[in-house]
Structures are given as structure tokens and as C-alpha cells.
């Protein structure tokens, strides 16, 4: 990956301690760690007063649970982690932090500068030159910033206090993308075009997911119109999607070739996405905020790794759930740099439902009943992915 964490950390050692302090944020006040459990090694921050990422570095694996989440603070227990009494200053949405030991867990308290909510949490294992585990907490502002203060009798007095609670999001947001459309028909079968098949499948998947009452489903298109690929990615990011599913139908020179396959983003595609979003300056930043490019690069790497891991997990669950409903290609999980998979912070897959160039696959995809069974499998995969998410090694949300 371009600008890897290993290279960045190496640059910091060359350039000295000042940049290291700026990038890593806050070193812990104590050095002793519990010998019988995982230990809390370091806490660092990135972001600003709209969105802040907290990275808790550990020398072992851990599970986390939010035990308090109010407008003034977030309290997290990291089970199986040892910690001395520690405290320090924060950054962005975090005014200060502290950690102490509580019955087999390290309790980390984040005092907030303004009302905020935990947007996501996940655990990253060691890898790519990083030797520690990283428990990542993403905070997002939900209320107004602190009001200006005035001096009264030698002390600061707030003009007013505001604490706006964020409504709890009780539904996962799924973006379903019907491939092609409008003047782009996609591939052709004997009787049908890809754009027609994908739109019908997208509408069916939306209906099945919404019937459960657990999801809000956004379609990138709901008519025979063309939406540019970059806009499809933007739709998913604006919706703060939990999952992006792009539906397609393949074609090949050999009419005997048939079967579904699932694509996730390749490493080359991830590198391209990182360069694009970093150059735009619209990722994890806000107008007028000062950011160290190296810090932003680290945050991009962390986010992309978690997103790629979650995409791969869903791809496997998806293939498991559709294997008895349609034929699969021999190498059914593939990677590519498809434009619709480039969002660094939205898990995404591209499902090739079959080959329009194969008569059997075309008949399956054109038959509403048989296509509906395939979409049932996709919907069940979405359920399984979220219900079993605590088992995934790539993140520990909901523990």
C-alpha cells in the first residue's frame, strides 16, 4: 500500500521526536504493564472537532464494550487488558482521557469537548510491520460545539449549554447498486440485457431486506438511467452505509462458462483509492482544520484495512449463502480495482450473478422466481453477516 505505516514510522524516527509526538498523540504516563494479561501500550488520536479517531494500542488481543455513552464522555471496558492509572490530553472531540483497572478490564474514559457518539469500533490485529493490536474507536460529533464564554468575576462562564443527543440508528443502511443503466446496457444475452436484469434484482433485494424491518435500503438507481461510477461511491458514503452491494451479470467468449462470483477490492485498487481521497482532501477532514498529512495517511491505512477485511468477510458469507441457489465459478471470490468498490470506509462487494452469455444462467436471471431465490440468498447473507459480526477477527463492534 502506498505510504505504508512502516515507511511513515521510519520517517518519524529519522525526523526526530517532534513529529512522532504530533502523529502518535499521547504517550502513556506509565510504562508498567500487567504481566498476566494484555497491556495497554499507547493511545493516539487523529481527526478534528467533527470526527475523531482514537487508537488504543495493545500488546495482546482484547474485546471491548461501551459501558457509558453520554454527551460528556465515552467509557469503554477492554476485557483482558491490564492498565495502570493513566491520564492525558486528547485531540479533536476528546478533551482528555484516563485509564484504570476494573475487575479484569482496562477502563478507558474519554472526556468529550462536545456531544459525540461512537460511530464504529473494531480491533485490528498486528500486520504490515505493525506489531501491536489496535482497538479503534471512531467518534462523530452529534451536537453543537461549546458556546463562547465570557469573563464573570474572574472566571469563565458559558453563555449557554447545548447537548443535542443523536437519535439512535436502529437500522443498518445498505446501498444496493444496479449495474449499468440508461445508454450503458452492459452485457447482452440472447433475449435480455444486463441493465434490465440488475435493476430487477436490486428492487427485489431491497424489498426482501426492508421486509425484515432491520434495514434501510438505498438504491443507486431505480429506473433505466445511468449513474456514473464515482457517484455510486459517493451515494454510499453520503448515506453512511454499513454495506454496499453492486449487482452485475458477466459475459465470456465461451458460452459454456457459467456461475456467480464475488469481487472485493484489490490491493492495487486500494492504493488508487487512497491516492484519490487523500488528494481531494475530503476524507476525515473539515474545512479550515489543520492536519498533518502523515497522520491522515495513517488513518487512511487503518480504515482501509478494516474495510477490506469486512468486505472479504461478507464476500465469504455471501458465497456460502448463494452456493445452493445458483452455480458458482470455480474461483468464486476474486479481487479487482472496480470503481464502485473504492470507498475507503464502506465495506463493498460486486456480485456477478451469472453469465448472460450462458443460456442456463440467462434463464435463471430472467426468471423472477429463480432470480428471487438468489436474492433471498443475498438477503440471508446480509442477515448472517451482521448477526455473526462478533465472530469476525477484523473488528469487535457490538461486544
Q: Please state which of the ranges 26-35, 133-142, 160-169, 187-196 shows the lowest mean pLDDT.
A: 26-35
Hunting for cell 508498567 — which residue is that? 32
Greatest mean pLDDT among 272-281, 298-307, 362-371 lies in 362-371
Q: List phi, psi (to 5°) of 238.
A: -65, -35
Residue 15 clears pLDDT 70, i.e. is over it: no
Identify the structural domains of the chain with CATH numbers, from first to last. 5-146 (2.60.40.3500), 172-389 (3.40.630.40)
- Selection from 182, 252, 197, 187 nearest residue 363 by Cα: 197
Higher local confidence (pLDDT), 154 or 305: 305
Identify the pLDDT of residue 184. 94
Averaged pLDDT for residues 8-27: 35
Identify the pLDDT of residue 40. 87
Identify the pLDDT of residue 396. 37
Q: Please state which of the ranges 33-42, 197-206, 236-245, 324-333 shows the lowest mean pLDDT.
A: 33-42
Full strand arrangement of the beta sheet holding 86-89: 63-70, 73-79, 105-112, 94-102, 86-89
Q: What is the pTM of this model?
A: 0.59
Tell me if residue 235 falls in helix, strand or coil. Answer: helix
**What is d(CA 114, CA 161) in angstroms, rounded to the nearest whole number?**
10
Residue-wise pLDDT tens digits, 90-132: 998 999 999 888 888 889 999 999 998 888 888 887 766 678 8
- Residue 281: which pLDDT band, with cuts at 50, 70 and 90? low
Identify the pLDDT of residue 217. 97
Identify the pLDDT of residue 241. 95
Q: Which of 252-265 are b and which e, b meaning 16 or more Cβ less than 10 Å from the residue's Cβ?
A: eeeeeebbbbbbbb
Higher local confidence (pLDDT), 42 or 20: 42
Amino acid at each position: 500500500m502506498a505510504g505504508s505505516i512502516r515507511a511513515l514510522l521510519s520517517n518519524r524516527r529519522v525526523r526526530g521526536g517532534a513529529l512522532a509526538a504530533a502523529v502518535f498523540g499521547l504517550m502513556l504516563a506509565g510504562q508498567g504493564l500487567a504481566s498476566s494479561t494484555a497491556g495497554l501500550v499507547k493511545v493516539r488520536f487523529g481527526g478534528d472537532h467533527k470526527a475523531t479517531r482514537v487508537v488504543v494500542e495493545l500488546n495482546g488481543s482484547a474485546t471491548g464494550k461501551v459501558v457509558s455513552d453520554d454527551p460528556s464522555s465515552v467509557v469503554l471496558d477492554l476485557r483482558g487488558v491490564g492498565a495502570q492509572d493513566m491520564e492525558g490530553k486528547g485531540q479533536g472531540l476528546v478533551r482528555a482521557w484516563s485509564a484504570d483497572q476494573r475487575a479484569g478490564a482496562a477502563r478507558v474514559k474519554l472526556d468529550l469537548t462536545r456531544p459525540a457518539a461512537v460511530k464504529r469500533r473494531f480491533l485490528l490485529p498486528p500486520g504490515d510491520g505493525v506489531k501491536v493490536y489496535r482497538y479503534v474507536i471512531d467518534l462523530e460529533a452529534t451536537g453543537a460545539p461549546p458556546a463562547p464564554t465570557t469573563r464573570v468575576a474572574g472566571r469563565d462562564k458559558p453563555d449557554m449549554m447545548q447537548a443535542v443527543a443523536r437519535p439512535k440508528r436502529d437500522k443498518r443502511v445498505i446501498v444496493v447498486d444496479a449495474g449499468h443503466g440508461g445508454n450503458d446496457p452492459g452485457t447482452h444475452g440472447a433475449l435480455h440485457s444486463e441493465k434490465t436484469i440488475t435493476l430487477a434484482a436490486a428492487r427485489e433485494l431491497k424489498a426482501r431486506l426492508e421486509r425484515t424491518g432491520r434495514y434501510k435500503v438505498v438504491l443507486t438507481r431505480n429506473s433505466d438511467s445511468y449513474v456514473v461510477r464515482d457517484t455510486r461511491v459517493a451515494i454510499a458514503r453520503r448515506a453512511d452505509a454499513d454495506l454496499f452491494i453492486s449487482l452485475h451479470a458477466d459475459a465470456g467468449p465461451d458460452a459454456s462458462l457459467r456461475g456467480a462470483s464475488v469481487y472485493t477490492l484489490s490491493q492495487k485498487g486500494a492504493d488508487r483509492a487512497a491516492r484519490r481521497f487523500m488528494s481531494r482532501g475530503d476524507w476525515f477532514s473539515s474545512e479550515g482544520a489543520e492536519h498533518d498529512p502523515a497522520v491522515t495517511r495513517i488513518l487512511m491505512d487503518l480504515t482501509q484495512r478494516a474495510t477490506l477485511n469486512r468486505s472479504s468477510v461478507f464476500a465469504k458469507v455471501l458465497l456460502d449463502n448463494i452456493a445452493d441457489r445458483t452455480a458458482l465459478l470455480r474461483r468464486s471470490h476474486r479481487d479487482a480495482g472496480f470503481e464502485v468498490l473504492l470507498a475507503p470506509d464502506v465495506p463493498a462487494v460486486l456480485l456477478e450473478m451469472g453469465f448472460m452469455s450462458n443460456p442456463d444462467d440467462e434463464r435463471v436471471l430472467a426468471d423472477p422466481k429463480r432470480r428471487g431465490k438468489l436474492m433471498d440468498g443475498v438477503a440471508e447473507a446480509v442477515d448472517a453477516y451482521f448477526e455473526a459480526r462478533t465472530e469476525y477477527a477484523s473488528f469487535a463492534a457490538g461486544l
